[in-house]
Homo-oligomer: A and B are copies of this chain.
């Protein structure tokens, strides 16, 4: 029954041979790779506003300069990644580039930063999506966490079904967003130029903090989240139609242009119209409301914003599992992340990402602003490492104009490194410390995991003469029984077919029950002796293991020490709650108990199926 539900929700399994690449045209590739980058203006603008509004209208007057500084940074980063696209036509993810050029440790740093980055992209995009839609429909504000989790659930299910179905559907929100925003900005510009004299209808907010350099730096640091997602195309070069690098480069250029236009344009108009927003509205929603007024058009813009943010969260569900699978291939994360599921997706990684994102959303109360300080550190660490790697790449390769290319990437690396320091310091106490702490811990975990796998491989490897010797001795069998039942008899029958040395043992949890059980046993199974073990503390495992240890200490054919567990299996799975699973507890203790006597015991389960 569970399998049927699963098939209905996730879809039937797909055979492995359907695993093939798809090639994307430039228009479809732009839709596939840009949502994260484009949608990040939604929260970046909001963060700049929230930082500067503390200094009142004097602060808000700096919106455009801060925005332009970030746009210049965007230009540098975009140029850097243009070079990566050409240098790594097989996909130049930050982990691959950093590991290849700087070595394993920086590579792992980049990997940790990227995993955190993917996770926060999902969490931040979802909460920002909810903020966008709740700005149009304020009735949703109190339910922000619930709505965000609902979106997350839908995206998780869609990804467990497999990305292919979702590919084309994604293009719609992206172009909807681009179209509606360009339209809105254009209309706003026209109003600004040709309908002057409109005074700002809202009083400028009161300053609650002085306009210090620290405040401006914080606004800059928070706004830098606008750059998240720029690197997406450089990871995905192999997905383009040939000529891959060239098409990817052109798409990257188009994306960067659109990003810059939307970001700088909305920032400029926000300042020009002196837009401010209340606590239950995003600044972009307030801008849209200012330009097009409240009503259906405003709703449409907010819905488009929500959709592209949801799609952006979805891109994490493509990137995270792919990176986790690469790391699992290299042995740095649990092997389960390598397993392709029924639907040819890395289901374990998708579920892990979804759970972690849900945890973040709940822990931070669905508040984008609270999550942002954790976000930018990972992004800019990956940028810096990847660009530094590119500098070394050109240095090693020394092709035509290698020094020019190295200088361009070096400028990118320097700019992102400076930003990393600014972000890390100005947002440290607000949450950046979590990321700064987490990244080295993850690197330590990565290395520990690889050491563990290496140790396991070494221990499981078959060396010469390692074949365990086969003895002619038959196993020495102990059967824990809870009474003179049919299931115990089945176990005895199996035991006698493999051994002549069989003992049944009864742990006397209920006081004074041993005599009764011994008599009943004598009647039905006189050929196997029953040993009763007292249990003054009503514990099952303690006395049983004391008895087993004592028994094994006397004998030397210890290799064949065997415990047979009679297992009563209920007819229906839900009846399991009515049984006490003593045999399961014994089994687990037998398997996981360290071999104190230099050997382990073999466990035999003889199931006895009930019919009703």
Q: Point out the residues of chain B lying under 8 angstroms from A484, CB to CB.
A: 462
CB-CB contacts of A533-563 with B at 8 A, as 1s and 0s?
A: 0001111000000000000000000001000
Task: Tell me whether A606 and B611 are in contact (CB under 8 A).
Answer: no
Task: Tell me whether B602 and A339 are in contact (CB under 8 A).
Answer: no
Task: Tell me whether B610 and A459 are in contact (CB under 8 A).
Answer: yes
Protomer copies: 2
Task: Tell me whether A603 and B600 are in contact (CB under 8 A).
Answer: no
Smallest distance from the beta carbon of A91 to chain B beta carbons, Å?
A: 22
CB-CB contacts of A3-23 with B at 8 A, as 1s and 0s?
A: 000000000011111000000
A interface residue count range (under 10 / 10 to 19 / 20 to 34 / 35 or more) = 35 or more
Task: Tell me whether B456 and A568 are in contact (CB under 8 A).
Answer: yes
A434 within 8 A of B: no
- If A462-B484, A604-B604 touch, whether A560 touches B494 (CB-CB below 8 Å) is yes
Stretch in A58-66, A160-168, A589-597 with 4+ CB within 8 Å of B: A589-597
Stretch in A45-53, A77-85, A419-427, A572-580 with 4+ CB within 8 Å of B: A572-580
Partner of A497, one of B341, B453, B474: B474
Stretch in A231-239, A287-295, A403-411, A463-471 with 4+ CB within 8 Å of B: A463-471
- If A462-B486, A467-B489, A604-B604 touch, whether A610 touches B538 (CB-CB below 8 Å) is no
Distance, CA A453 to CA B610, complexed state (A):
11
Partner of A538, one of B336, B340, B493: B340
Partner of A459, one of B486, B497, B536: B486
CB-CB contacts of A191-208 with B at 8 A, as 1s and 0s?
A: 000000000000000000
Q: Point out the residues of chain B lying under 8 angstroms from A487, CB to CB.
A: 460
Task: Tell me whether B471 and A578 are in contact (CB under 8 A).
Answer: no
Q: Point out the residues of chain B lying under 8 angstroms from A452, CB to CB.
A: 575, 578
Nearest opposing residue in chain B for A509, CB measure = B339
Smallest distance from the beta carbon of A17 to chain B beta carbons, Å?
A: 7
Q: Point out the residues of chain B lying under 8 angstroms from A470, CB to CB.
A: 493, 496-497
- If A462-B489, A470-B496, A498-B474 touch, whether A17 touches B536 (CB-CB below 8 Å) is yes
Q: Point out the residues of chain B lying under 8 angstroms from A14, CB to CB.
A: 537
Distance, CA A577 to CA B352, complexed state (A):
13
Nearest opposing residue in chain B for A579, CB measure = B335
Smallest distance from the beta carbon of A226 to chain B beta carbons, Å?
A: 34
A461 within 8 A of B: yes
- If A539-B13, A603-B605, A605-B602 touch, whether A578 touches B449 (CB-CB below 8 Å) is yes
A607 within 8 A of B: yes
- If A456-B568, A456-B610, A466-B489 touch, whether A339 touches B497 (CB-CB below 8 Å) is no
- If A475-B497, A497-B560, A538-B16 touch, whether A609 touches B580 (CB-CB below 8 Å) is no
Smallest distance from the beta carbon of A493 to chain B beta carbons, Å?
A: 4
A334 within 8 A of B: yes
Supplied contacts A471-B497, A497-B560, 15 more A-B pairs, CB within 8 Å: A14-B537, A15-B536, A15-B537, A16-B537, A336-B580, A452-B575, A455-B610, A459-B610, A460-B568, A460-B608, A462-B484, A462-B485, A567-B591, A569-B600, A591-B607
